[in-house]
Structure 1
Amino acid sequence: MSGADFVPSFELGRRQINFLPVRSAPSAPVELPRRPNTEGQQISEVGEPVRNQTGESQTLEALDTATRSLKLKVRKKQRRTAAGSTCFRIMKQSRKEYVVEEIKKAMRDAKEGEEKNRQMQEKLRQREEVYQNLRRENELLRRQKSHEHVESELTDSGPGRSAPPRNV
């Protein structure tokens, strides 16, 4: 078995994959046929039909006319695009500036919101502190009142006397 006969292969699942042998490149470069450059020339042979990409027959003159009109359209579009791209660039720049302004405004609003939130948290903490102090004072007053009531009952009531009811 010579090196030219060897064909590499492998199995992929149930399929056998065979690689085709690599052929050496031709010694002389291959010349591809070129279409003659007919731009700007008058074509005298009108009768010879040529197939275009869609498969329809057209004469060389019709193809040449179509090519010229396409080139004119392209040039016209390029001129329009150049003017349009300047306009588009200006619009794009103004849109960028608008977006930058919106972002700055949103960041400023966020900072203000954070500041307001911090202030509200501080107020809430202060009110909670005041509330806890008032609760403690209320509890102390209640205890003092309870102790005074008990002491007054003990001191006012002797043998056979009862303490008058107290309105609290």
Structure 2
Amino acid sequence: MSMEQWPSIAAVLRVMTGWFLIGIGLLNLGVEVDGGLSGAYLVFHLMLAAGGVLLLLRRRPAPGRAGSALAAALVLVAIVATAVPHTSGCCMEDYPGRHGYPFPFLGVGGGLHLAPLYLVADLIFWSCAGLLAVVALAGIERVLPERRTPVDLSRYHAYAEPSPRGENVGGLT
């Protein structure tokens, strides 16, 4: 496999993931529309669909390194922050102390219990939220003024004497 194929493999995986997220998000909303929708369930599946749409954008806005690092930090902080408060969410009814959003993945009381499936669902949810943050940060960076340091070009002349060695350096001697 040549190195030229790797970008196309990444693009195929991105498109497949995008369609999968849209499909799961909209299918589950459609199935539960007859009255089984709770607030967390609705938010979760709308976020999945939105993340899928963002992955399928042909021209994805991309922030700089600082924006990407900030979006990653926001995802980690959101997972930790939503795991701190006690919730009465849908899952893990055997544990009186449930933590996590949109699905409780950490149970305390009667021992510590981690539900890996709900943890993965929360990680996917917050990763989609991170994609939204990336798009927002890219939009903010686009409207910010240019941050480069100005360079004083007054000492350079457009037309200079040719170099004694016959080299052309584009007028910068």
Q: Structure 1 length as normaliser, TM-score?
A: 0.19
